[in-house]
Amino acid sequence: MAAVETGRYHRTYESQLRLWHTRPQLIRIGVVAVIAIIVPFVFDNYWLSLANTALIASIGAIGLNVLVGYTGQISLGQGGFLAVGAFTSAILTDRMGVPAPLSILMAVATTAVIGVLFGLPALRLKGLYLAIATLASQVVILFIVRRWNFLTEGQGFVDVSRLEVFGFKIERSTFEQQWYIILIIVTVLVAITATNLFRTNIGRAFMAVRDQDIAASAMGVNLTRTKLTAFAVSNAYVGLAGALLAHYSEIISWEKFTMDVSILYLAMIIVGGLGSIAGSIYGALFMTFLPIAVRMFGEVIGGVVPQVQKQLPAVEHAAFGLVIIIFLIFEPRGLNRIWQRIKDFFGFWPFRY
Amino acid sequence: MSTFVSLFIYGLSEGAILALAALGFVLIYKATGVINFAQGEFLLIGAYTFYTAFVILRLPIVVAALVGVVAAVIIGVLVERFILRPMVGQSHISIIMVTIGLAGLLSALVQMFFGTQPRSMPPLFPRNQLEILGAHIPANRLWVLLVAGIVLTLLTLFFQRSKHGIAMRAVADDQQAAMTVGISVRRVFALSWALAAVSALIAGILLADVTTVEMNLVNFGLLVFPVVILGGLDSVPGTIVGGLTIGLISQFVAGYLDPGLAEVAPYIVLVLILLVRPYGVFGEKRIERV
């Protein structure tokens, strides 16, 4: 057998800039696409609802990763920004009669603007101080959501009517399937736009700021503009996730956007891989299915040791903390890195590197 | 006037507890550069270990407190050795997240052993009403203030005078220089985590005495952030001033304006301080070089 080429070599700039490089990569994309298409025909509503939740989480996680993983601006305010997107879209659709697609776009724009507003401290702060500043923004946004009676008309929650797009209304009987189709299309679009973003000069500037902001500004990157753009882009995605969440779950209240949600999303991008679009999706899937896996495991064990059954909420909680710690200690670059290593092992075989 | 006096005393006692909790936080940050999001959970664990020793095992109060201290030291050292040491040299976000993961794990452990029901503890201090300038104040508030004051003074003296305290300050100032004069940086790291856990334990016990032993003690832990930002992340006297200020602000806002607003008032102060003077009122301004 002829010698096999090991590793990937680019001979032209065009080949380096291409979205996919190798045939196995194309085959993998094909396999994932086929799986994604057959999912709604194979799984029942319970699993589909989980898949839909995971897809919405993927969009939010991609948004957060743009900010945290690619630009290096730590944000603990994810829950608050999701709330902005969700409430904007819900109120526009239900109380003002704006068509859903338009209200979602307006939610995206609103969240981006509010994101920039709360991103202003990032111009002076970084690292730990920025983390604490965004923590404050989370508390302040949630306080406004809880106390501003206009938002929920004093009920504490907002009912959202069933999604209607251009006269096409989602049916009750095939609710999950139709949502799955909508969400998978949106997620793919989001993933592609985000991947493309990092092939442009704006995206490169984000990464330069992450790696060393002072050096980046010495090279001519406008720090103010770059950081605020990062907040805007990131929160646009987060607003989209929030708006979709509002329309999908059809009822929203402040409890869905607490500090725990912010932490959950950070956990997603840590577990998936900071600075990786694919990683955000892996992380969102992982963190959505982790509690389910723990519960199923608990039911199996619970047959033998009944005490475990009673402790399940606490066990889920503990598993969450433990997963974050274990990933950070043993694989800080997340699932994406593990997958990368598996691919490299076969790609470079029989050599180690 | 009587409202003012009682709000003032309540604010001071709560602020003193906050200062204790925040002191542990500052200790860890100063010595090891780690932002500890699990400080609230240390408070929780402290309150529950004391509760176990004092109420469930019926040990005398002094012995129960000692059991709590020993448990806190062990937990602090274990956390430093097995969770934070592997993280040395990692980025800020990783270190923040590992302490958030730790927070989830610790509160889950408490939930497993004690459930989510609030528990009441027999009073540690007398609760008779005292009349000060027309205001009726339960005596335990003043006792809490006194105990917190004593502990804070002792800890401050420890930093200023004792050999270990000076070693900790040396490490905080410059790790490599401290190593060259023969200070064991590892021991200092372990010591600062242990001390942080102990100060959280004392804060937890005092807080449990004025409220109840329950999972919500964790929320109190998040308030350390406004405190440390106000006082400066690396300043011990700043922490004490910051704690008292935040305690007073939240009590006055709750008393005169709106109890709901009192929950966010500390964070609004935090944002204002960050915008005007990010290194805090007493903090040290650092210059960053590439």
Domain segments of chain A as ranges: 37-348
Contact of A287 with A264, CB cutoff 8 Å: yes
Low-confidence ranges of chain B (pLDDT < 70): 286-290
Measure B288 CA to nearest chain A CA, in Å: 9
Q: Which residue of A has its CA nearest to B36?
A: A128
Measure A10 CA to nearest chain B CA, in Å: 31
Sign of the CA dihedral running A332, A334, A337, A339 = positive
Option in B105, B107, B233 nearest A322 (CB) = B105
A317 vs A296: CA distance, rounded Å: 15
Q: Give the pLDDT score at B290.
A: 57
Q: Which residues of A touch B93 (CB under 8 A)?
A: 68, 72, 74, 131, 266, 270, 274
Q: Give the pLDDT score at B286.
A: 67
Tell me what ipTM this predicted complex has: 0.85
Phi, psi of B278 (to 5 degrees): -60, -25
Q: Residue A289: helix, strand or coil by DSSP?
A: helix
The one-letter amino acid code at A105 reads: L
Measure B75 CA to nearest chain A CA, in Å: 16
Maximal C-alpha separation, chain A? 74
CA A212 to chain centre: 25
B105 has a chain A CB within 8 A of its CB: yes
CB contact under 8 A, B111 and A74: no
| Nearest C-alpha neighbor of B191 from the set B154, B218, B163 | B163
CB atoms within 10 A of CB B122: 8
DSSP state of B85: G
pLDDT digits (tens, 9 = 90+) for B39-89: 989 999 998 999 889 888 888 888 998 999 999 999 999 999 999 888 887
Please give the full DSSP string across A120-170, using - where no structure is assigned.
GGGGT--THHHHHHHHHHHHHHHHHHHH-HHHHTTSSEEE-PPPEETTEE-
* A345-to-A341, A349, A353, B170, B239 alpha-carbon distances in Å: 6, 6, 8, 46, 52
Query: Which residues sit opposite A30 in a β-bridge?
Result: none
Q: Give the pLDDT score at A2.
A: 42
CB contact under 8 A, A324 and B100: yes
Interface of B with A in 205-224 (CB under 8 A): 222
Q: Which residues of A touch B48 (CB under 8 A)?
A: none
Contact of B206 with B148, CB cutoff 8 Å: yes
CATH code of the domain occupying A37-348: 1.10.3470
B100 has a chain A CB within 8 A of its CB: yes
Averaged pLDDT of chain B: 86
Q: Which residues of B touch A329 (CB under 8 A)?
A: 83, 86-87, 98
Q: Given the DSSP bridges, would you call strands A157-159 and A164-165 parallel, antiparallel or unpaired?
A: unpaired
User: How many interchain CB pairs under 8 A, A with B?
Assistant: 127
Q: Give the pLDDT score at B288.
A: 63
CB contact under 8 A, A325 and B98: yes
Tokens linked to A221: 């990157």
| End-to-end CA gap in chain A | 21
B108 has a chain A CB within 8 A of its CB: yes
CB contact under 8 A, A74 and B90: no
pLDDT digits (tens, 9 = 90+) for B193-212: 999 999 999 998 888 888 87
Please give the model's pTM, rounded to 2 decimal places.
0.89
Mutate to test the interface with A, among B93, B111, B117 (most CBs of A within 10 A): B93
Tokens linked to B158: 């420890």
Contact of B6 with B142, CB cutoff 8 Å: no
Measure B116 CA to nearest chain A CA, in Å: 10
CB contact under 8 A, B107 and A325: no
CB contact under 8 A, B108 and A314: yes
Query: Could you report the average pLDDT of every consecutive run of 10 residues in chain A (353 residues)?
Result: 57 78 83 90 90 95 94 90 93 86 93 91 80 88 86 78 77 85 94 92 93 90 92 95 93 88 92 92 94 86 74 85 92 90 82 74
